[in-house]
Amino acid sequence: MRNRLFVIVALAGLAGGVLAFVATRRGGDEALAGERVVVAFGDSVAAGQGLGPALGYPNNERAYPARVGAALGWPSRNVAVSSACAATAGRPGSHPDTPDACTTSILHDQLDRARGVFNGSPRLVLITVGANDIQFADCSIEAIVPDLSEGACENDALRRRLEALDANLSLALDRLRQRYPGATIMLTSYYNPMPAPAAEGEDPCPIYEPLAALDSPLSLVSDASLRRAALALQATVHERFRDGVSALNEVIRRVASRAGASVATLDFAGHDLCRSQTGDGEATWVYGPDYDVRFRVTGAAILGGGKQWTGTLPSRCPSPTPAEPEPFSTGEVTRRIGVVEVVYSARVTINCMPHPTQDGQQAIADAVVDAVPPRIR
Largest CA distance in the chain: 76
Q: Which helix (H) or strand (E) holds 293?
A: strand 290-298
Q: What is the Cα–Cα distance from 33 to 31, expressed in whole angstroms? A: 7
Q: Are 6 and 141 in contact (CB under 8 A)?
A: yes
Position 232 scores a pLDDT of 95
Which portions of the chain are predicted below pLDDT 50? 1-34, 148-149
The answer to whether residue 233 is domain-embedded is no
Q: How many domains is the chain partitioned into structurally? A: 1
The pLDDT of residue 314 is 81
Contact 358, 51 (CB under 8 A): yes
* Listed residue (92, 64, 96, 93) closest to 78, CA to CA: 64
Q: Which residue from 127, 126, 117 is spatially nearest to 32, judged by alpha carbons?
A: 117
CA distances in angstroms from 36 to 76, 86, 123, 215, 377, listed in the order given: 9, 25, 5, 53, 8
222 within some domain = no
Name the 3-class secondary structure at 11: coil
pLDDT score of 322:
65
pLDDT, residue 228, reads 95
**Contact predicate 328/214, CB 8 Å:** no
Q: Is residue 112 part of a domain?
A: yes
Phi and psi (nearest 5°) for 335?
-130, 135
The pLDDT value recorded for residue 157 is: 81
Write phi, then psi, for 227 (nearest 5 degrees). Answer: -65, -45
Domain hosting 251: range is: 11-194+238-272+356-376
What is the reported pLDDT for 282? 57
Residue 369 within any structural domain of the chain = yes
Decide if 220 is inside a domain.
no
Answer whether residue 360 is part of any domain: yes
- Write down the pLDDT at residue 7: 36
**Is the peptide bond preceding residue 210 cis, with omega within 30 degrees of 0?**
no
DSSP annotation of 291 reads E
CA angle in degrees (0–180, nearest 5) for 183-185-188: 155
Handedness of CA 316, 317, 322, 326 (dihedral sign): negative
Helix pair 223-259, 136-144: axis angle to 10 deg: 150
Q: Is position 330 within any domain?
A: no
Q: What is the CATH number of the domain that holds 64?
A: 3.40.50.1110
> Is 339 among the domain residues?
no
Q: What is the per-residue pLDDT across 171-215, written as a single tens digit (0 to 9) for each?
A: 999 999 999 998 999 999 999 999 999 988 899 998 899 888 888
Which amino acid makes up residue 102?
A: C
